[in-house]
Amino acid sequence: MSKKMGAKKPDRYELGRVRDRITFLYLEHAKLNRQDSAIQVTDNRGIVYVPAAMISVLMLGPGVDVTHRAMELIGESGLGVVWVGEYGVRQYAYGRSLNHSSALLVAQASLVSNQRSRVIVARRMYQMRFPNDDVSKLTMQALRGKEGARVRHVYLEQSERTGVPWSRREYNPDDFDSGTPINKALTAAHQALYGLSYSVISALGASAGLGFVHTGHDLSFVYDFADLYKAEYSIPIAFEVASEHSDDPDIGSRTRLAMRDAFKDGKLLVRMVKDLKSLLGVTESDDEVETINLWDDRLGLQKFGVQYQELPAGDHT
């Protein structure tokens, strides 16, 4: 028998849990390959090796060349990938989830498919933003109005704190450089937060497209989830960067670095994991079960791997 080539696929216990990982790593003008269980990064300064299982999001900027073997490792490790365009435009991709349980995905699909439970989850999201108010009886229209007022207040508050003039949020996704410094900083900060949110959602096995407030987009739940943290992270950081570097033509890069610094202690990552499971009503023990069953509309879950006998014609009891 010929010797099997390539690195051994990592076992589950070798993969760091998403809450224990470094938040994200930004790379540009480099070649990515695979060396055992590490991503080999080569640029004009030399070679470094990045353990794939210790990173949550890999942000790939202009000039990045990725080999098939590197993508194979990224997929095996459940590492989120964010392709970063020159003008702040992102395209998202991700590997297989870290946990092989479908508990979160099943819970999410069940909750979003029922109008009553969908509203309950949406209210939970808004309640996280208004911890001192009871929003359990408010309609979605009332919640949107309350949230709109809150966000406007946050923008004005940050403008007063930093001295950055503020009128309104406006940006052209096809022309990043046409925006004002603060709007460019906000776009870059929100995109970094979207990347981290997307990575957590994907790594835990939930769906990025099944949103409770946003809908109709393949990233609807990413927008839902990231909105929980904008007032605390991306908005104040964007205003801080704009106040110090308004004349910097590369304000987007500066903002991403500032977001990285805010993420690096891992506290937000741990919080996101806890919040996601709480929103979907899934416990730690439920999420770690790795069993495969067969579904039956009358008998319930049936054991997988059994050679079942065909019932006689007409016998469907």
- Tell me the pLDDT tens digit for each residue of 183-220: 999 999 999 999 889 888 887 889 999 999 999 999 99
Higher-confidence position of 136 and 82: 136
Set out the domains of the chain in order of their start, with CATH numbers.
12-93 (3.100.10.20), 103-287 (1.20.120.920)
What one-character-per-residue DSSP string does 231-291 give? TTTHHHHHHHHHHHHTT-TTHHHHHHHHHHHHHTTSHHHHHHHHHHHHHHT--HHHHT---
Annotated binding site: 147, 214, 227
For range 286-310, the mean pLDDT: 69
Residue 243 has pLDDT above 60, yes or no: yes
Model confidence, pTM = 0.73
Residue 161: predicted pLDDT:
97
Residue 263: predicted pLDDT:
86
pLDDT per residue over 245-275, tens digit each? 988 889 998 999 899 889 877 788 889 989 9
Annotated binding site for Mn(2+): 147, 214, 227
